[in-house]
Amino acid sequence: MKPNLSFLIIEDDKYARLNLREILQPFGVTDEAINLEEARKSLAERFYDIVITDIELGQDNGVDIIESIVKKGSHCIVVSSYEGDETIEKAYTLGARHYLSKFKLKEQLPVYIQKYLHTRSAKFEKILKEEFITQDEELISDLRRLCEVNWKNQNLFISGPTGTGKSLLGKLIHEITHPEANLVHLNCSEVAENLLESELFGHEKGAFTGADQKKDGKLKLAHGGTLFLDEVATMPLSMQQKLLKALDEKTFYPVGSSVPVRSEFTLVTATCEDLAKKIENKEFREDLFHRISGFQFYLKPLSQRPNDIELLLRHFQKSSTRRYVIKAEAYELLKKYSWPGNIRELRKTCERLSQSRSGVVDGALLAKMLGPETVEATNISEWEEYVFEHGLKAYISQLEKKAVEEALKRNKGKITACIKDLKISSSAFYRILQENQLQF
């Protein structure tokens, strides 16, 4: 597969530019600038993976743009026939990664491009091993394609059930593509509707009661980096319209201000809700959905990644301070469990196992912890066996837990709908959540 890198060549010599273009063609696409004015304009308009600059550019000195290249998050390579020690030292001090002679460029430059690709690939493999744990081939292939995209000022929309790792994926995409810039996170469901505008756009001092000092919003803080809006489906329609306008124009007004603020960033949004249904019900703007979903990625539930269950179990088990042993029959029960809370529930279960009184986890302990679903029962006598072994209260508690988990799953985490379906009071619902440490 041809790499999809973007290059900017800063070179005033026509034939040198042609030579560089031919060398770089197998690796991606190139833009060109003949002086620093053109180069700065190009850097302001888009992101480049690698910028290659000469030192002697007519009246300009290529060293003078190295710092700007590095601040943009691009990989800087100097290519020059000028080899004064002082200039070379200054180029490296300002952040250039390599200083190459113009002679033998066809042999040398591809080697350093491959090194850049290898470093990015190695970072991806390290992430798969240490952070986004999976051996699901389809998921790995999809993730690899995501990591080959030039995400600067692009949009990524992540969907999937709660607990599958959407926040982690957004963070990893940021780390792989431009880790030097800001990653700004906002969970829209955790901010009161009357405060959301201030959180997104900021406010001036005295803009409203309680605005004792000026505050920068998430959009401004994310300039040059990544803005991650989690649970975007919960955003009120009035704010959806304002966000759409800000994204289209790349400018916005803080609350109480008449001075526009410009900000460009990679936008990552995520939700566990069905946006198509919300659009149909006029609860989410279709034009905003098209604006935020430049690239779409679905994270499937853990139940569709059966080979990852044991891998994740062992990963969480190793990361625990207190060592414990999971017996073979317990592993089988864990792998057969449906994990409605996905990876979040699995991690929480491992935490509870590490804190359990026994350091040896067998089937009986898991049945007590996870409930009747883990008991391989085929008739009523086996359910009676569970009740008389663990007690009626434990059995009812597990039924309550499973019922709430299923309600949360069916209703995409909407509390009001869950309470209505289960026909219980809100206090009873929250009691079950608290007793079982459930998250939604």
Question: How high is the pLDDT of residue 375?
Answer: 45
- Predicted local confidence at residue 383, as pLDDT: 57
Residue 285 has a CB neighbour count (10 Å cut-off) of 17
Residue 164 · residue 342 · CB < 8 Å: yes
| Angstrom distance (rounded) from CA 392 to CA 376 | 18
Does the pLDDT at position 376 exceed 50? no
Res 410 pLDDT > 50: yes
Mean pLDDT of 13-40: 92
Residue type, 333: L
Q: Is 377's pLDDT higher than 60?
A: no
- Residue 156: the pLDDT is 93
439 — phi, psi (to 5°)? Answer: -120, 155
3-state SS of the chain is: CCCCEEEEEECCCHHHHHHHHHHHHHHEEEEEECCHHHHHHHHHHCCCCEEEECCEECCEEHHHHHHHHHHCCCEEEEEECCCCHHHHHHHHHHCCCEEEECCCHHHHHHHHHHHHHHHHHHHHHHHHHHCCCCCCHHHHHHHHHHHCCCCCCCEEEEECCCCCCHHHHHHHHHHHHCCCCCEEEEEHHHCCHHHHHHHHHEECCCCCCCCCCCEECHHHHCCCCEEEEECHHHCCHHHHHHHHHHHHHCEECCECCCCCEECCCEEEEEECCCHHHHHHCCCCCHHHHHHHCCEEEECCCHHHCHHHHHHHHHHHHHHCCCCCEECHHHHHHHHHCCCCCHHHHHHHHHHHHHCCCCCEECHHHHHHHHCHHHCCCCCHHHHHHHHHHHCHHHHHHHHHHHHHHHHHHHCCCCHHHHHHHHCCCHHHHHHHHHHCCCCC
pLDDT (tens digit, 9 = 90+) per residue, 119-164?
A: 777 777 777 777 788 888 888 888 877 776 767 778 999 999 888 9
Domain 136-298: CATH superfamily is: P-loop containing nucleotide triphosphate hydrolases (3.40.50.300)
Using the predicted structure, report yes or no on whether residue 1 has a pLDDT greater than 60.
no
Strand partners, 29: 6
In this structure, which long-range contacts are made by residues 363-366, counting pairs with CB atoms below 8 Å and at least 24 apart in sequence? 363/327, 363/329, 363/330, 363/333, 364/389, 365/330, 366/330, 366/333, 366/334
The pLDDT tens digits of the residues spanning 346-363 come to 988 888 888 877 788 887
- pLDDT, tens digit, for every residue of 177-187? 677 788 999 99
pLDDT given for residue 395 in this prediction: 75
Rounded CA-CA distance 217/223 in Å is: 11
Structural domain 5-119, CATH architecture: 3-Layer(aba) Sandwich (3.40)
* Cα 83 from Cα 101, distance rounded (Å): 8
Summarize pLDDT for 230-259 with one digit per residue, the tens.
999 999 999 999 999 999 999 999 999 999
Res 241: pLDDT:
95
Categorize the per-residue pLDDT at 285 as very low, low, confident or very high, splitting at 50, 70 and 90: very high
Cβ partners under 8 Å of residue 35, min gap 6: 10, 12, 57, 58, 59, 60
Exposure string (b/e) for 135-162, b if CB count within 10 Å is 16 or more? ebeebeeebeebbbebbbebbbbbbbbb
Q: Report which residue type is found at 164.
A: T
Residue 282, by phi and psi: left (phi above 0), alpha (psi -120 to 50) or beta? left
At residue 400, the pLDDT reads 85
For the chain, state the CA radius of gyration.
27
- Residue 39 — pLDDT band, cuts 50, 70, 90? very high
Q: What is the pLDDT of residues 199-215, one digit of tens each?
A: 999 999 888 888 889 99
Of the chain, the end-to-end C-alpha distance in Å amounts to 40
Query: What is the predicted pLDDT for the residue at 373?
Result: 55
The pLDDT value recorded for residue 372 is: 56
Domain boundary assignment for the chain: 5-119, 136-298, 301-386, 391-440
379 has pLDDT over 50: no
Cβ(35)–Cβ(8) under 8 Å? no
Across the chain, mean pLDDT equals 85
Rounded to whole angstroms, the Cα distance separating 420 from 430 reads 13
Q: What is the percentage of the chain residues whose pLDDT exceeds 90?
A: 34
Residue 440 has pLDDT above 70, yes or no: no
pLDDT reported for residue 388:
65
* CATH of region 301-386, choose from 3.40.50.410, 3.40.50.10490, 1.10.8.60, 1.20.870.10: 1.10.8.60
Over residues 256-280, the pLDDT tens digits come to 999 999 998 989 999 988 888 899 9
Q: What per-residue confidence (pLDDT) applies to 348? A: 86
Phi, psi of 217 (to 5 degrees): -85, 170
Say what the pLDDT of residue 380 is: 39
Q: Which residue has the tokens 């936008």?
A: 267
Q: Tell me what the mean pLDDT of segment 88-109 comes to.
A: 90
The string of pLDDT tens digits covering residues 6-20 is: 899 999 999 999 999
Lowest mean pLDDT across 93-107, 244-258, 377-391: 377-391
Residue 370: per-residue pLDDT: 73
Our CA dihedral for 183, 189, 195, 199, rounded to 10 degrees, sits at: 10
Same fold? 5-119, 136-298: yes
